[in-house]
Amino acid sequence: MTGSIWSTAPWFVPIHRPRAQKGGGAHWEAFSRSRGGFTSRVHVRCDNQGYPPGFVLTGGQVSDYKATGALMAFPAPNPRAMLADRGYDSYSFRQDLLLHGILSVIPSRKGRSTPQKTDWRCYRDRNRIERMFNRLKQFRRIATRYNKTDLSLMSFLSLAAARLWIRSFINAA
128 has a pLDDT exceeding 60 = yes
What H or E segment, with its residue span, contains residue 169?
helix 150-172
Give the mean pLDDT of the chain.
77
pLDDT tens column, 93-111:
899 889 989 899 999 988 8
Instruction: Compute how many other C-beta atoms are within 10 angstroms of the C-beta atom of residue 88.
Output: 23
Longest dimension (CA), the chain: 73
Which residues are bridge partners to 141 per DSSP? none
Query: Closest Cα partner for 83 from 52, 104, 56?
Result: 104
Q: How far apart are CA 75 and CA 54, in angstroms?
A: 9
pLDDT score at 52 = 86
Q: Which pairing describes strands 54-59 and 81-83: parallel, antiparallel, or unpaired? A: unpaired
